[in-house]
Structure 1
Amino acid sequence: MGVAMVAHVLVPTSSPAEGAPSGPLPTSTPSAASNPSAPGTLPEQLAATRTTTPEQAVRLALDGLGGHHGRYALAVEDLTSGRSAAYGSSTETFTSASIIKVNILAALLLQTQDRGDRLSPAQRQLASDMIRVSDNDAAQKLWTDIGRRQGLDAANARLGLTPAHAGQTGPWGLTRTTAGDQISLLKAVFTQDSPLSAASRSYLRTLMSAVTDGQNWGVGAAGAPGDPPVLKNGWLPDGTPQRWVVNSVGIVERAGHTLLVVVLTDGQPTRETGIALVEQTAATAVEALVRTP
């Protein structure tokens, strides 16, 4: 990440640094959401609470997961039904890590639209590297192109996000974000109610649909089995020895519903623990939301 990736110096040698190729990840224990026919699992719980609101159903399901490391916030919005739910504070901030790369590209595309221009071939290659393989050098160059923090904040005011919580010269990966802001960004990327053009939205979706193997874990676990993930993940040490930030944002299809999903975490003892938490909470929350009567 250059200056922006000072935090990468802290990466333990036993865990892959962000943007580097990684091997197969441990498979987390399937949650009740992934096995809806199992006795006493989520569908039966929901059947017994017909008056439960979507928000209550998601909270009930996630409370049932038991203990976890660190903290996390989740937000999910069902574009099909209009329902939404959150777990944890939607305004509590977390370190962005590489999910901010979607925000950087959205800002660049918005600026390009304003000029009536297109991304240059070099910028398109950088954008592909930044999203598909989470290349930090590419992100640093495009961060500079958008005008760093000032350019990001100007774009975010139009995209429906609050200003990034970082100093003007601070590393892009250490900006702060909220689950609520990430849902707003996903709306700008994946819905028509957006200052981004249809071409810009399609371009972002194409790149998020082609994340390299080893980095395609995350909220895609909440989608229908076999569906290719459309997402961006981020991970880095959170400044405390052996503690990790692990985030994932994206769009999934489940049971005839299209849903935007955000999970932000920190204080994770390992990257793999964070991934398991992200996937389990995303799958559980989406299952609860689409099955609530």
Structure 2
Amino acid sequence: MNIRKIKKSLMADKQKLAIAAVIIVVALVLGASTNYDQQTTHNNAKITATNLNRQLQNTWSKVDTDGITNAQIAVYDKKTSKVYTYTHGSKNSYPTASIIKVFILTYKMSLGELTNDDKDLATQMIEESDNEVTTEMVTSFGGIYQFPKLFNKLRMTHSNVNQTWGLTQTTATDQLKLLNELFYNHKILSQSDSNYIANLMSHVDDNQNWGVSSGVADDTMIQLKNGWLPLDDNYQNAIVNSIGHVQDDNVDYTIAVLSNGDSTQDDGIDYVSALSQATYKALSR
């Protein structure tokens, strides 16, 4: 065999081996880099969630509780995909007051398309917080004892009906399950049906501009529903709640703030609003 051909063949084989070795090294380096980046991102997410929880707990605990007997707050932060909670007092569940109206409309829409009359009722129920039309809507689908059907679908395991719809018992974390269905998940209602409810919640009457909407930036999108119910004369021993969704360039979260046994309705409104404002400030940093 020709010696020159043998040498050329050997040199070609060496070049191929060298190229293959380089490719393997590069692949290993890139793979290691990717794994490192993924692990770093994962660890950073954990660190962020842990730090955020610590920061929120510290912030919430500093809000003045004068005149407030029991309160709960729960927040789902889309950035970290985590739920953060805080409780003042010892109560486990809370009467909903008018925040139940979002649940009622969600249940009604889960049964099928709204009629024009239904839409009129829905507008008055959410935007104006009208109690009479709420009773009419509840009656239209068979009454309060239909509520557990949606409780079960949403796994709202700590919510229970009461003979009076406004005294239905719930927790802040259960309310997040409803809100997250409307603003993120869309498993029970379609995106368009969820948007319909969100639009109503973004046009509540001006006298309901408290709670979730407190202290946010001017360009922030807010969907909210408030509930308030003084159990004694002179607006004392009050239930004051606020639920909703807050989104702008810096934040995207759902929030539920519940309080019960407030000395006065104004005390409850001030406290719920202060918690909401503190939450926005912490999450927008």
TM-score bracket for the superposition, by shorter chain length: 0.7 to 0.9
Match in the other structure for 1:281: 275
1:142 & 1:256 partners in 2: Cα distance? 37
Residues 1-293 of structure 1: matches in 2 within 5 Å? 53-69=51-67, 70-88=69-87, 92-112=92-112, 118-162=113-157, 164-167=159-162, 170-227=163-220, 229-238=222-231, 242-254=236-248, 256-291=250-285
What displacement does 1:222 show? Answer: 4.9
Over residues 182-217 of structure 1, what are the superposed CA-to-partner deviations in whole Å (9 max), with x where a residue is unaligned?
000001111134211112101100100110110122
Aligned residues of 1:81 and 1:257 also touching (Cα < 8 A): no
Greater shift, 242-251 or 267-276, is seen at: 267-276
Secondary structure at the aligned position of 2:160 is classed as coil
Aligned residues of 1:58 and 1:285 also touching (Cα < 8 A): yes
Please say which structure displays the higher CA radius of gyration.
2
Q: Which amino acid aligns with 2:153?
A: R
What displacement does 1:71 show? Answer: 1.6
1:247 & 1:110 partners in 2: Cα distance? 24
What displacement does 1:91 show? Answer: 8.7
| Structure 1 unaligned spans of 5+ | 1-49, 113-117
Q: RMSD over aligned Cα, in angstroms?
A: 2.4
1:148 & 1:222 partners in 2: Cα distance? 37
Cα 1:150/1:223, change in 2 over 3 Å: same
TM-score of the aligned structures, taking structure 1 as reference length? 0.74
What displacement does 1:150 show? Answer: 2.5
TM-score of the aligned structures, taking structure 2 as reference length? 0.76
Cα 1:83/1:91, change in 2 over 3 Å: farther
Aligned residues of 2:53 and 2:84 also touching (Cα < 8 A): yes
Q: Which amino acid aligns with 1:156?
A: F
Give 1 or 2: higher helix fraction. Answer: 2
Aligned residues of 1:74 and 1:88 also touching (Cα < 8 A): yes
1:123 & 1:52 partners in 2: Cα distance? 44
1:198 & 1:93 partners in 2: Cα distance? 30
Secondary structure at the aligned position of 1:214 is classed as helix
What displacement does 1:151 show? Answer: 1.5
1:228 & 1:53 partners in 2: Cα distance? 26
Q: Which amino acid aligns with 1:53?
A: N
